[in-house]
Copies of this chain bind each other. A is one copy, B any other.
Amino acid sequence: MRDTRAALLLQAETLVRRRGYAGFSYADLAETVGIRKASIHHHFATKSDLAHALVAAYDARYDAALAGIRADEPDAIGRIAAYGALYLGGVEAGLGCLCAVLAIEGEALPASLRADIVGFFEKHIAWLEGVLAEGIAAGCVRASVEPGPTARMVIAALEGALLMERLLAGPAGFRGTLTALCDGLRAAGSVPTGVSSHRIDTI
């Protein structure tokens, strides 16, 4: 049995992450999946329905990854390094972050989709804020770090690095940024931890 809906979601996601939301068409998607254009409408009535489903699936995958990192990595800096490694997967595959791509085209997008994206980012900011606060309490993160603004700065740096290094220096460039980022957060006495092996499942 062939799960067409899943194939559509998978291929649509890579198309959006490669070329943007306005940059791919139902015709493109139909061709890569090997189905007729009209049949896509059977699964996703409109393009924005498809986009919603895309964000929901992406968000769910990240939820799982975030929970996994929290469970596997005891150290705050290790958790942030592992979180950054999720983005590294995108650089390696030549794919931007789905939500960053959609955020950039924000103005031209349906408002409900924008709300989904805001929710995605705010969830990640809250997660990082918690990680940083715990890290400060445990003494592995610099005491002068403010968890709120720094959480925003961390995710901004990773989103920005994914955006840039995909075109510039690739994975090597991204790893440099991630290391510089972690080094700036670590408390003076704390020992660096290695790069984690966390991966976002699909793609």
Contact = CB atoms under 8 A, between A and B. Distances in A.
A144 to B, nearest CB: 7
B19 A180 contact: no
Interface string A99-136: 01101111110000010011001100000000000000
A112 to B, nearest CB: 13
A167 B105 CA distance: 11
A95 to B, nearest CB: 9
B20 A122 contact: no
Interface string A150-185: 101101111111011111110001001101110111
A72 interface: no
A23 interface: yes
Contacts of A163: 100, 103-104, 156, 159-160, 163
Main secondary structure of the interface of A (DSSP, over half): helix
7 tightest Cβ-Cβ pairs between the two chains A and B: A160-B160, A156-B160, A149-B176, A159-B160, A184-B184, A156-B161, A157-B157
Interface of A: 18-23, 94, 96, 100-101, 103-108, 114, 117-118, 121-122, 144-146, 148-150, 152-153, 155-161, 163-169, 173, 176-177, 179-181, 183-185
30 contacts: A18-B106, A19-B22, A19-B105, A19-B107, A20-B21, A20-B22, A20-B104, A22-B23, A96-B104, A100-B104, A100-B160, A100-B163, A103-B167, A117-B167, A121-B168, A145-B180, A145-B184, A149-B176, A150-B184, A152-B164, A152-B173, A152-B176, A153-B157, A153-B161, A153-B177, A153-B180, A156-B164, A158-B160, A159-B163, A160-B163
